[in-house]
Amino acid sequence: MWEINTEYRTDLSSTFARLIDKRDLLKKSRPLPEIAVQKIKDSLSVEWTYNSNSIEGNTLNLRETYIVINDGMTVKGKSMREHFEVNNHHKALHFLYKMVDEKEKINCSSILTIHGFMLNNIEDLYAGRLRNGGVRIQGANFVPPNASKVSDLMDELILFIQENPQNLNPIELATIFHHKFVWIHPFFDGNGRTVRLAMNLILMNAGFPPAIILKNDRNKYYTALNAANKGNYQKLMLLMCQALERSLNIYISAVPDSEADYKEINHIAEEPEIPYGQEYISLLARQGKIDAYKEGRNWLTSKDAVMNYIGNRKRKRVL
């Protein structure tokens, strides 16, 4: 059983607490307006498919991904594989949501099923099957374990998630699962897409919305995974928190009495009560020290988030 280095908690404890508070707020606010929730779910499903595929090199843009999913059309100049990747991911999403509805926990069987969706009509020979040969990952700072060890390592990973020997919160568990899965690299192809779905089963079963890693964070994502290979989970945990906070904030906006007012950071910096400039607020957002999330390449936060940070700093000085 693994022993996870949890030094990241020193910097991220308040971030974890904020995200858990937001999850609890959503729980208390349910049921949310059904039409609003369905619109958010549909929108995030397209974004999830687009971003996950784009990280792996799929060239269909967000609008084209929407067209393939909702209109069943093909896009001129794009390969059939890219179209299959969109439809396969979308079908796997439906399977994932069904598992959440039925409160099924993550297991090796469900992971194989998700992977089977991913490679359907692409690599049918390997779809839903663990690799039986060695692989090397371009740009990674490690070599995945021998194929003969993959099955046992996957069983060990599932057992770690189920027993949670270090009493990790769901965000930590999902992040550790994500990294260890990528390190094991159980399949010849489709590992990234599969794990970015499967790890969300841990989060969604714990009452969180899905954490969607954005295409624009691709380089940051791979850098964070390489750092985790050396036992440093700080960057990967922070990236996961940022992805999760974005989804939480989107759902909280559907709460009928929500007062959340998120704006681009340059507008927040113009508020007369805010003593910080745009660059410093942006730094706080990137470090996860304030309630903020990313849309495209732009960070959004609220006046309340910055004022809460200022208030917390003052209280710490008094103590």
CATH code, 62: 1.10.3290.10
For residues 184 and 194, what is the distance between their CA atoms, to the nearest angstrom? 13
Question: Is 39 found in the same domain as 136?
Answer: yes
**Exposed, middle or buried, 37 (CB in 10 Å: 0-12/13-18/19+)?**
middle
Domain presence at residue 258: no
Q: Which domain holds residue 40?
A: 9-252
For residues 302 and 48, what is the distance between their CA atoms, to the nearest angstrom? 25
The order of strands in the sheet holding 298-301 is 263-264, 298-301, 292-295
Question: Is 290 found in the same domain as 233?
Answer: no
Helix 170-184, helix 147-163: angle, nearest 10: 180
Domain presence at residue 71: yes
The answer for residues whose C-beta is within 8 angstroms of residue 163's C-beta and 6 or more apart is: 1
For residues 255 and 25, what is the distance between their CA atoms, to the nearest angstrom? 9
Q: Which of 228, 252, 276 is the last residue of a domain?
A: 252
Question: Is 226 found in the same domain as 127?
Answer: yes
Domain presence at residue 1: no
Q: Which of 226, 252, 278 is the last residue of a domain?
A: 252
Q: What 3-state DSSP class applies to 263? A: strand
Question: Is 51 found in the same domain as 157?
Answer: yes
Tens place of pLDDT per residue across the chain (319 aa): 689 999 999 999 999 999 999 999 999 988 888 898 899 999 999 999 999 999 999 999 999 999 999 999 999 999 999 999 999 999 999 999 999 999 999 999 999 999 999 999 999 999 999 999 988 887 778 889 999 999 999 999 999 999 999 999 999 999 999 999 999 999 999 999 999 999 999 999 999 999 999 999 999 999 999 999 999 999 999 999 999 999 999 999 888 777 778 889 999 999 998 999 999 999 999 988 999 988 888 899 999 899 988 988 877 776 6
Is 90 catalytic? The answer is no
- Entry pTM: 0.92
Question: Is 68 found in the same domain as 198?
Answer: yes
Domain presence at residue 2: no
Question: Is 142 found in the same domain as 64?
Answer: yes
Question: Is 273 found in the same domain as 294?
Answer: yes
Question: Is 289 found in the same domain as 167?
Answer: no
Question: Is 232 found in the same domain as 212?
Answer: yes
For residues 30 and 166, what is the distance between their CA atoms, to the nearest angstrom? 31
For residues 38 and 60, what is the distance between their CA atoms, to the nearest angstrom? 24
Give Cα separations from 256 to 18, 34, 37, 43, 249 (angstroms). Answer: 20, 12, 12, 19, 13
For residues 12 and 238, what is the distance between their CA atoms, to the nearest angstrom? 7
For residues 131 and 126, what is the distance between their CA atoms, to the nearest angstrom? 8
Catalytic residue selected from 89, 94, 185, 267: 185
Question: Is 116 found in the same domain as 49?
Answer: yes
Domain presence at residue 236: yes
Instruction: Say which amino acid occupies 161.
Output: I
Q: DSSP code of 253?
A: T
Q: What 3-state DSSP class applies to 117? A: helix
**Phi, psi angle pair for 18, to nearest 5°:** -65, -45
Domain presence at residue 201: yes
DSSP notation for 179-234: HHHHHH--SSS-HHHHHHHHHHHHHHHTTPPPP---GGGHHHHHHHHHHHHTT--H
Number of Cβ within 10 Å of residue 34's Cβ equals 8
Q: Which of 231, 252, 273 is the last residue of a domain?
A: 252
Q: Do 116 and 187 touch, CB atoms closer than 8 A? A: no
The answer for residues whose C-beta is within 8 angstroms of residue 200's C-beta and 6 or more apart is: 96, 174, 210, 211
For residues 297 and 258, what is the distance between their CA atoms, to the nearest angstrom? 25
Question: Is 281 found in the same domain as 203?
Answer: no
Question: Is 179 found in the same domain as 80?
Answer: yes
Domain presence at residue 21: yes
Number of domains in the chain: 2
Instruction: Say which amino acid occupies 219.
Output: N
Domain presence at residue 27: yes
